[in-house]
Chains A and B, each alone.
Chain A
Amino acid sequence: MTRVLLCASVLALAAVQAAEDPESLRKKLGDVELGGRWIYGDLNAGFAEAARTGKPLAVFLRCVP
């Protein structure tokens, strides 16, 4: 079923204190098996990386149910 929970996989955007370190955050969100591609909560770092690589950005926001 392609309806996405979403995608299940990826997007449990919950919320955490911004200053939390990425590993701790990934663990809290249950994202421990995801690849290391995600930049958590640091939009400026995302823009800088996009400028450096020439890639576009995909910014995910998801409200906590």
Chain B
Amino acid sequence: MARQENPELAAVLEKFICVRIVHGWGLDLSLFQFDTDMTLAVFFMNADRTIYGRYGTKFARDTSLEGLLYTAGAALEVHKGFPQNKPQVAAKTGPAPRWKTPEIMPTLKTRHEAGDVSSYGCIHCHTVHEGELTSRWLSGESIPDRLIWKYPLPNVVGLGLEAKDGRTVRTVGNNSAAQAAGIKPGDRVLNVAGQQILSVADVSWALQQAPDDGMLELEIERGAARERVTLALKNGWRRRISVARNNTTSMLQKTVSGFFCNVLSSGDKQKLGLPETALGLRVTYLPAAKEKDPNMNAVNAGIKVNDLIVEVDGQRVAMNADDWLAYLLQKKKPGQTLELTILRAGAEQKLNIPLPK
């Protein structure tokens, strides 16, 4: 079906040079750092590669024509003031990436050389992040929270922002960092960590760069006054919002363990006579031999779909999906063994799954 361009959007985009990146291979990750679980990402930039602002997050609620028009207009204002205002947007370009393009990541290199593509002749965006994390994990690097609970949305720190401008505070979460800092509904967030905010995605970017345990300064507008407030970010703050359902994280689970599993619900635990605090991970998927999956270790170890994992490495404490992913990526190393106890046909049995190396 042919696509019609919205007239209002078309008029704004006439003021830009518009580029559509249509291929993930070769993507310059020194420039394009974004949440790869997004549905849409837009970068507004200068010809000298300075990034003015980002638009689009992984949630459709943050995406609207009104919001895109607002951010595009704000980017035009930044452009008018450039380069005098360069310090206010300098930090929107990230640090040098571990790998400059996806195809040189060790776990994607083979696929690229083999001409492998996921869909429509391209790798999916989320595959880029999956490639980075698996490459880091397989090389024995530690995986910090910021690489798993990536691109925190503002609600992680208690900020409910209007999608239409990414600045106006609609709600403030109870017992949140934003509430503790004295932020109130109706305030407008002008800067985060010194960066001018043009969208929710810009706030998310600033949060991604924020410390795992430390302070983050915001400049807000309240009525006619401007104030500086400080968010106290405490260790583990990124984990307030689950990432377990993201594309990247679900794939990572399989890449490391060799299987997919779902966390048993409270109701299912009750039916099985398991206490709420018990571990319960139901195996839901194993790669078939014909898929030529690089990790067939779980299959070869004898695990089967519908097996219920009740113990991992001697522990029977409940894990949610995020806990399970973090356990695999942060506690286990390549070549180690995952020692499982599974419940199958009413009987427990031990299974040892070697992890890839």
Is there contact, CB below 8 Å, between B120 and A39? no
Contact partner of A9 (CB less than 8 A), chosen from B4, B25, B39, B40, is: B4
Chain A residue with Cβ nearest B72: A58
Chain A residue with Cβ nearest B5: A9
Is there contact, CB below 8 Å, between A37 and B125? no
Is there contact, CB below 8 Å, between A18 and B26? yes
Chain B residue with Cβ nearest A46: B19
Number of B residues contacting the other chain (C-beta, 8 Å)?
Answer: 57
Top 9 A-B residue pairs of the complex, sorted by shortest distance between their CB atoms: A15-B122, A50-B47, A46-B19, A63-B125, A58-B16, A51-B47, A15-B120, A56-B79, A33-B2
With A56-B52, A61-B42, A63-B38 as known contacts, state yes or no: A13 contacts B17, CB within 8 Å: no
Residue B290, interface by CB 8 Å: no
Is there contact, CB below 8 Å, between B22 and A18? yes
Binds A, one of B62-70, B271-279, B348-356: B62-70
Shortest beta-carbon distance from B118 to chain A in Å: 8
Residue B18, interface by CB 8 Å: yes
Contact partner of A64 (CB less than 8 A), chosen from B5, B75, B124, is: B124
Chain A residue with Cβ nearest B2: A33
Q: A40-B22, A59-B32, A60-B20 provided; 4 other pairs, C-beta below 8 A?
A: A3-B60, A3-B64, A15-B117, A58-B17
Please, what's the 1-or-0 string for A12-50, where 1 marks a CB less than 8 Å from any CB in chain B?
A: 111111100000010001111111011111110111011
Contact partners of B94 in chain A: CB under 8 A: none
A53-B126 Cα distance, complex, nearest whole Å: 34
Residue B313, interface by CB 8 Å: no
Residue B86, interface by CB 8 Å: no
Is there contact, CB below 8 Å, between B5 and A35? yes
Shortest beta-carbon distance from A10 to chain B in Å: 6
Contact partner of A38 (CB less than 8 A), chosen from B20, B26, B63, B66, is: B20
Is there contact, CB below 8 Å, between B3 and A10? yes
